[in-house]
């Protein structure tokens, strides 16, 4: 086992903090192979937000070793870090780009999302000044209303892209707004709009660049959207994008979040627990303190709802979740300092899932994973 927090690799014995995340690389490899086989096309794993909490650099290294065709990140800093850590395969930055960032893309050989004619001109001019070629993927808005040229106003944009002398148009893409729903009517409309945009190339006898629109939900539910390449995100990490999505690929969670008991006490009836004094037991209870809190991404909104696993049994978190600590009511059971606590994962016959934490927090699994702070060490099970 090794640990990496986007920087140094240290041994497990050197980890001081008892709260940690464990990532099973074998499970991640299996998930990748299953998704790749199901999609039957090129694949671009999406590694936004520290690879959905799993650790950007180590997961990128894994997918490069598994022969991913591309990697997708959200911001240029993520792409630069991967280049500095030796990642060689193509990387697309999916977010919008400021003009003063363009030299960074070119210096580190990152593919740029071009989302307007003005952006194309900035990219072209910068590439000319730097005596190089810029690689771009053209972003089409088919109904998300974030960035990209509207599908109904796209011809001038595409024509401008192919007139730029210092730009290589490598891809064209859009993004689904609702592909994880049970009603796919709008998703199909978006796909129709994107295909209409792609008629531009046929009508001008231009070979189309890489076409991609399919995310995790669409990979599972709309195979006709796979086109040349797919962009799986959360599904690669063993979490489905919603409860309603069809589970046509059998993926498994690769991440466990664990800690240790650091204190044991008896709390007398009527004594309040934690900030705000929001919990008072009506009888004497045994309780343990765990060194994790909302500063780690264990969301405060889970207060009075969350449970943890200790010695194979679920126990409730009581009182408000603090920045760095939680208190767990174990009633009359026994526990000792150093006992392992499962915050997310399996212990014996009991499990706490990402969906459980999301329900307790009133949010979605994406937010649970991406909120696990980088101060929590990542340990990789090789």
Residues with catalytic function? 48, 275
Most distant pair of Cα atoms in the chain: their distance: 80
Alpha-carbon dihedral sign for residues 228, 233, 239, 242: negative
CB 379 within 8 A of CB 12: yes
Q: What percent of the residues of the chain are helix, what percent strand, and what percent coil, each to the nearest 5?
A: 35, 25, 40
User: Nearest CA to 182 among 245, 248, 241, 247?
Assistant: 245
Cα-based distances in Å from 173 to 22, 149, 187, 209, 347: 34, 11, 14, 10, 42
Which residues, including other chains, have CB under 8 Å from residue 83's CB and lie 6 or more apart?
91, 108, 109, 110
Ramachandran quadrant class, 179 (left: phi over 0; alpha: psi -120 to 50; beta: rest): alpha
Alpha-helical segments (H) within 40-169: 48-52, 56-65, 76-84, 102-107, 117-129, 155-163
Nearest residue to 378 via CA among 288, 289, 291, 296: 296
Helical ranges in the chain per DSSP H = 25-39, 48-52, 56-65, 76-84, 102-107, 117-129, 155-163, 185-203, 216-221, 354-361, 365-370
> Distance (Å, rounded) from C-alpha 379 to C-alpha 51?
14
Burial of 169 per CB tally in 10 Å (0-12, 13-18, 19+) = buried
Query: Pick from 245, 253, 269: which is nearest to 331 by CA?
Result: 269
């Amino acid at each position: 086992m090794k640990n990496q927090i986007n920087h140094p690799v240290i041994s497990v014995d050197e980890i001081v903090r008892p709260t940690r995340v464990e990532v099973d690389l074998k499970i991640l490899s299996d998930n990748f192979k299953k998704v790749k086989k199901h999609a039957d096309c090129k694949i671009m794993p999406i590694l936004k937000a520290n690879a959905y909490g799993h650790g950007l650099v180590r997961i990128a290294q894994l997918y490069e070793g598994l022969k991913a065709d591309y990697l997708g990140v959200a911001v240029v800093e993520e792409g630069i870090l991967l280049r500095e850590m030796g990642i060689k395969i193509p990387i697309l930055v999916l977010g919008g780009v400021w003009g003063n960032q363009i030299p960074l893309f070119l210096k580190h050989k990152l593919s740029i999302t071009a989302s307007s004619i003005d952006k194309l001109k900035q990219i072209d001019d910068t590439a000319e000044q730097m005596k190089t070629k810029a690689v771009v993927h053209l972003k089409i808005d088919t109904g998300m209303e974030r960035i990209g040229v509207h599908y109904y106003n796209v011809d001038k944009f595409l024509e401008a892209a192919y007139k730029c002398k210092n730009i290589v148009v490598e891809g064209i893409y859009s993004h689904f707004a609702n592909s994880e729903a049970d009603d796919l009517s709008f998703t199909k409309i978006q796909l129709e709009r994107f295909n209409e945009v792609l008629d531009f190339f046929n009508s001008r006898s231009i070979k189309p660049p890489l076409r991609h629109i399919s995310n995790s939900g669409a990979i599972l539910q709309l195979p006709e959207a796979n086109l040349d390449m797919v962009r799986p995100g959360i599904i690669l990490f063993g979490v489905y994008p919603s409860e309603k999505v069809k589970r046509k690929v059998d993926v498994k969670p690769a991440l466990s979040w664990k800690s240790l008991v650091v204190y044991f006490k008896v709390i007398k009836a009527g004594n309040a627990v934690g900030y705000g004094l929001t919990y008072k037991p009506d009888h004497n209870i045994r309780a343990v303190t765990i060194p994790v809190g909302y500063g780690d991404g264990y969301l405060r909104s889970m207060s009075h709802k969350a449970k943890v696993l200790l010695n194979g049994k679920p126990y409730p978190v009581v009182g408000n979740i603090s920045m760095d600590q939680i208190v767990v009511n174990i009633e009359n059971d026994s526990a000792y300092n150093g006992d392992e606590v499962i915050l997310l994962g399996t212990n014996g016959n009991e499990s706490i899932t990402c969906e459980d934490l999301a329900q307790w927090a009133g949010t979605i699994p994406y937010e649970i994973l991406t909120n696990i702070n980088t101060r929590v060490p990542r340990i990789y099970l090789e």
